[in-house]
Amino acid sequence: ISTAGDTFLGGEDFDVRVMDALIQSFSEKTGVDVSDDRMALQRIKDAAEKARCELSVAREALVDLPFLYTTPSGQTFHMQETLGRDMLEELTRDLVERTISICDKTLRDANIDKGDLDDVILVGGMTRMPLIQQRVAEFFGLEPCKGVHPDEVVALGASIQAAALVDEAIDVLLLDVTPHSLGIMIVGGYFHTLIEQNTTVPTSASHIFTTVRDNQTSVKILVLQGESDKATDNELLGEFILSGLRKAPKGEVEVEVTFSISADGMVSVAAKDLETGREQSITVTATSGLTEDELQKLVESSQHYMVEVRASEEFERQRQQAERLIAEVRELFPQVQGIMSGTSFGRDAIAKAEGVLDRAEQEIRNQDARSLEEVVESLERTLNMFRGVVSKTGLT
């Protein structure tokens, strides 16, 4: 029905919190910083993981690492720390809450109430942590199911999926969905979604885009997954170039982009020049692993080779957003006018707001998407200013 997750959250994040605490304590006691000593870090990492596992069944765990660090003069330092379950829970409580927020999102996406659930299954060794089990029980109002081994449940699910793929007779309806929205980057660094999160697979979706500059003979397709409207906040899955486009004014050459997800979860993306039929495609096999800064540089260097939605679609999107903002500004206008009209500065601000409203309505009539985009930004600033004025006076 729905799926959600955080691919950047796992057991290692919990281990890192324990590692950092051990390193800090060692430094305070000995004056030695081992954060750049790779061998020492590996020993601490192994010990942190072992201690974290022990604390799932015990209240305390001993971290004992003799000869952890030796100075050039031959002086040796040992690490001996007692880690309590309470300390582990304090170090990692925010990580546990991140998992709970994912559960909440999944329920909302599926339009299901907690009371509609019969069982909650825990997956993975980290779910042995008492705090996780406690928070799951508190959130769902159900004790987690103990009938499935947390380390085996993924393998069991994969076996059921494999049986379904090879047409084995299994008496269960198994529907797989996409965990993230899939789409491409368009001009301006925006993310345009083609397949929404929680879409049942297999599936496919197509959309027609246009060139962004005159005489553009190639387009670069950056394939992304995520939920942010900003491309750099999402994850890059792959990129490819469709070349050989006809030289023409911007917006004239149309490129159809198609996303397809097979029953076994393979994602393929194709871009086709609708005029010539020339096509280029890729199959996504893994994420790029780029950092946010690296992705930002890639986005900036690719701007001249991007695509954009067709002018009519872009105008419609901007029009809807502008009309919503106009309505919100006009709703607050009488209150703000009453508050600010007593000073010349306030009267000037109100006059500017009226000018923004007039210009927005004029650009809607002109049907100019580019100009309307600029006005939308002005409307957003005006609305934020109005909200700030109202909130400071305590009016609603």
The answer on 275 and 225 residing in a single domain is yes
Among 91, 125, 157, which residue terminates a domain?
91
Identify the domain containing residue 319 by its residue range: 312-393
Structural domain includes residue 250: yes
3-state secondary structure of 128: helix
The answer on 267 and 218 residing in a single domain is yes
pLDDT at 131: 95
Structural domain includes residue 108: no
The answer on 154 and 213 residing in a single domain is no
Q: Which residue has the higher pLDDT, 188 or 89?
A: 89
Residues 6+ apart with CB under 8 A from 9: 95, 98, 99
User: In the predicted model, what is the mean pLDDT of residues 13-18?
Assistant: 95
The answer on 191 and 163 residing in a single domain is no
Tokens representing residue 70 in the block: 């030796």
pLDDT at 396: 46
- Does residue 44 contact residue 22 with C-beta atoms inside 8 Å? yes
The answer on 299 and 328 residing in a single domain is no
Among 276, 309, 342, which residue terminates a domain?
309
pLDDT at 99: 92
Omega into 202 within 30° of 0, i.e. cis?
Answer: yes
The structure tokens 């950047």 sit at 8
- Decide the pairing of beta strands 203-211 and 200-201: unpaired
Q: Which residue has the higher pLDDT, 179 or 86?
A: 86
The answer on 295 and 186 residing in a single domain is yes
pTM over 0.95: no
- Does residue 139 contact residue 42 with C-beta atoms inside 8 Å? no
pLDDT at 291: 64
The CATH number of the domain holding residue 225 is 2.60.34.10
Does the pLDDT at position 395 exceed 70? no
Structural domain includes residue 105: no
The answer on 318 and 301 residing in a single domain is no
CA 135 to chain centre: 23
Highest mean pLDDT among 69-83, 101-115, 163-177, 284-298: 69-83
Highest mean pLDDT among 210-214, 297-301, 315-319: 210-214
Count of the separate structural domains present in the chain:
4
The answer on 126 and 215 residing in a single domain is no
Structural domain includes residue 98: no
The answer on 317 and 295 residing in a single domain is no
The answer on 302 and 190 residing in a single domain is yes
Does the pLDDT at position 288 exceed 60? no
pLDDT at 51: 96
The CATH number of the domain holding residue 42 is 3.90.640.10
Tokens representing residue 359 in the block: 């210009």
User: In the predicted model, what is the mean pLDDT of residues 363-390?
Assistant: 82
Give Cα separations from 328 to 97, 192, 334, 361 (angstroms).
Answer: 34, 26, 12, 14
Among 152, 174, 196, which residue terminates a domain?
174
Structural domain includes residue 126: yes
The answer on 286 and 364 residing in a single domain is no
74-90 pLDDT, tens digit each: 999 999 999 999 999 99
Structural domain includes residue 99: no
The answer on 283 and 206 residing in a single domain is yes
Structural domain includes residue 282: yes
Structural domain includes residue 1: no
Please report, as a single letter, which amino acid is at residue 38. R
